[in-house]
Amino acid sequence: MQKGILPVFIILIFGLSVYSPAIAQKDSPEVVQFSGVVVTSDSTDGIPGVHIYVPKGGRGTTTNPYGYFSFPVLEGDSIVVRAVGYKLKSLIIPDIDRDNYTIVVPMADDTTYLENVDIMPFPNEEMFKEAILAMRPGDAQNMRNLAGNMNPQVISMMIRSMPMDGSMNHTYFTQMQAEYLYDAYGPRTNQLLNPFAWAEFFKSLKRKK
């Protein structure tokens, strides 16, 4: 009886050793190439720079300028999709019969509305009153100095020495650009040969007389 059991026991051990790798290989998750495009929720525009990763596996990638991504994952992996200005999104890789998985991931805007903040020069009304009361009005000497600054000669000198503002710089630039284009396509006219200029010259001489 024992001689009959021994061969059966040997056959069972041999069979388990042969089929156990196949069973283990079947139970292990398959590697899947996960690809897709991350877009906004209200359009089909791709979002660049979106982080797509597997937190437990330490694997991930980012989308290209067109919102496209692709990297290998395992079946059953939890994927996290994160981008600045958008709500975090999670998804799970399903068990499929092929070695690639493609998806379109829409992202919802994450808008945060803050309360209105009124910026005042003083924290409270009491400090504002104290600052007003601490101010000293100008004396007579300061008033005389202010009146002296209104001298027409002083104002005329200030106008001549004042640099050009933005509008004047723009006008000067456009004039120089027009002269450059005019010189590029033809010579400048000589006013000495212009009869209308001579007529205006004689009229100005008569007006001076």
pLDDT along the chain (209 residues), means of 10: 52 54 59 93 87 90 93 93 92 89 92 81 82 69 60 78 84 86 75 84 81
* φ and ψ at residue 120, rounded to 5 degrees: -115, 155
CA 35 vs CA 42, 90, 93, 100, 119: distances in Å: 21, 15, 11, 8, 49
Supply the pLDDT for residue 22: 45
Supply the pLDDT for residue 169: 87
Does the pTM exceed 0.95? no
Q: Which residues contact 52 (CB under 8 A, 6 or more apart)?
A: 38, 60, 61, 62, 63, 69, 71, 79, 80, 81, 82
β-bridge mates for residue 53, sequence order: 60, 80
The C-alpha atoms of residue 44 and residue 186 are separated, in whole angstroms, by 52
Q: Report the candidate in 80, 79, 83 with the shortest Cα–Cα distance to residue 50.
A: 83
The answer to whether 82 and 91 have CB atoms below 8 angstroms apart is no
The C-alpha atoms of residue 140 and residue 55 are separated, in whole angstroms, by 76
Supply the pLDDT for residue 128: 82
Which domains does the chain carry? 29-107 (2.60.40.10)
- State the sign of the Cα–Cα–Cα–Cα dihedral 150, 154, 160, 162: negative
The C-alpha atoms of residue 47 and residue 68 are separated, in whole angstroms, by 8
